[in-house]
Amino acid sequence: MGKRLRDESYYQRKAKVDEMMALDAIDNKFNWFLGRAKSVLDLCASTGGWIQLAIGRRIEPVGLAIGVDLHPDPIRPIIGAVSIQGDITTLECKKKIRKLMGESGVTGFDIVMRSGLSSDPNATLWDQASLITESIKLSTEFLAPDGTFVTK
């Protein structure tokens, strides 16, 4: 294995751990969302760290956990989660989410979360702000009435 591949693998693992630590800190500080969630939607899920932590903290094993990301390879299979490859700004992606919700009997997500970083290394500050704005719009569409939206 070449040095470049080892370095990329190291940084991917480090990014996942950093994401998980950030969500863990938020959950520990407020202690009000991960343990009671039955349904979770992770937007721009790239490494899958947040959704993996959310699944591990769920009290209820039933429910629905979806990770959505634009790129096909970043989300590795996570037991208990469904991965969608798609652009969160498109109607097609929303339809995929709605279809999975219908199949699982979920009317709204207890948590909609987004780590706040684009998986595109060329993303500008404007791109980041646009994705956060789109995530907020999606949360108003997909959150359950007492649901929680989390972003960093």
**38, 99, 137, 152: which is the annotated catalytic residue?**
152
Q: Please state the pTM of the whole predicted model.
A: 0.78
**Tens digit of each residue's pLDDT, the chain (152 residues):** 455 545 556 666 666 566 666 767 766 676 656 667 789 999 988 767 777 777 776 656 667 999 998 876 656 677 788 989 898 889 999 999 999 999 999 999 998 988 766 656 677 777 778 888 989 999 999 999 989 898 87
Domains belonging to the chain, first-starting first, are 3-151 (3.40.50.150)
CA distance 37 to 39: 6
94 is catalytic: no
